[in-house]
Amino acid sequence: MEKMIELWHHNFTQSLLIGLLVLLLYRLFRKKVLGMFENFIHKRASKTKTQLDDIFIKVTKRPFRMVMNATVLYIVYHIIDFDYLLGDKIGGFNTFALNAYASAIIVFFAWAVYNATDESNTLFSDIMKAFDIEIDKLMIPFMTKLFRLIIFIVTLAIVADTWGFDVGTFVAGLGIGGLAFALAAKDTLANMFGGAVLITEKPFTIGDWIIVGDVEGTVEDINFRSTKIRKFNKSIVTVPNSRVADSNIINYSKRNIRRISYELKIHIDTPIDSVKKVVKDIEDMLIEHKGVHNETIFVKFNKFGESSLNIFLYYFSNTSIWGEYLSIAEDTNFKIMEILEANEVSLAVPLKQIKVEKESIG
């Protein structure tokens, strides 16, 4: 009873009511006040030419709101006179509250920086342009993942230090078990080193058409452990970086042309003048074709087949992009068919089919 009287005289009830009132007012006007503040910031950012301030607003929106919540709670904690209520016991609780608030600020700040990595393409592009530096597309996702790992480790270390843990001793302890860890994570480390080799040597980049071993497709992503390749049937193959680094890599995207080569087999009874005319017409067509690289074009009547006259075609498309290459090959094939039709030349019929037809007639 005496304690309650003392608390009343110490105005603890008054402090409690004020604290609850602050919470209520914050709850009622939080959205409106924050909305007005964010609208003001957005208007200011819209007047600038750079996208960096827009990215900053986007990545800090939710963390800022959480910081505001934590700050109001911390203020309310001090408004309510817990110090007098708990007496000598308050020292430890005050320390806990302060550490919790400091940890919340650290985590929310790290959260904002982590969110910024989602905007890495725009962010890195603007930074590189500002310093007139070129950066490979493959570096951006790899640097993003590395940056996220660093953010997590640094945040964990700072929070642990805030709560009084000896981070230095923990790091030193890692050295003792480092050998065992390295042996246990041998494959993971090999993949990480493989990824570093791919980043530094740059045998390919995001979007390149490559062949690694028996896997062919376009590069979609590279991370610490593996490289993701999308095959032409749209399936994704995940190849460990150590395997990619140790394999022969064929990068079709590094060249700007692609070969088209085959034998055109025309009927064995085709007159010599018609053969010469077909060869000349096909060669002229390929030279004039916009999709054909005209530095290397061979159209030659090169040999006699069992039931055909074989014309050898060897030329290159002006692109290595798979879809465009197929369109050029298709178009030249249609034009070759038109040339054969115009010269009344037919394709060769297999010898076995001729024998079957003769037997059926007899």
Other C-beta atoms lying within 10 Å of the C-beta of residue 119 = 18
Determine the angle formed by the axes of helices 322-342 and 272-288, rounding to 10 degrees.
Answer: 150
Give the separation between CA 142 and CA 199, rounded to whole angstroms. Answer: 8
Question: How is 12-45 classified by DSSP, letter by letter?
Answer: HHHHHHHHHHHHHHHHHHHHHHHHHHHHHHHHHH
Question: Residue 322 is encoded by which pair of tokens?
Answer: 């798979």
Residues 6+ apart with CB under 8 A from 143: 120, 124
Q: Which domains does the chain have, with CATH numbers?
A: 2-135 (no CATH), 189-254 (2.30.30.60), 258-351 (3.30.70.100)
pLDDT tens by residue, the chain, 362 residues: 445 445 444 566 667 777 778 778 877 777 777 777 767 666 666 666 666 566 666 667 777 777 787 888 777 777 775 555 555 444 556 677 778 888 888 888 888 777 777 665 555 555 555 555 555 556 666 677 777 778 888 888 888 887 777 766 655 555 555 544 445 556 666 766 777 777 777 788 888 888 998 898 988 888 778 889 999 888 999 998 888 888 888 887 777 788 899 999 999 999 999 999 999 999 999 999 999 998 889 999 999 988 899 999 999 998 877 788 999 999 999 999 999 999 999 998 876 554 555 454 44
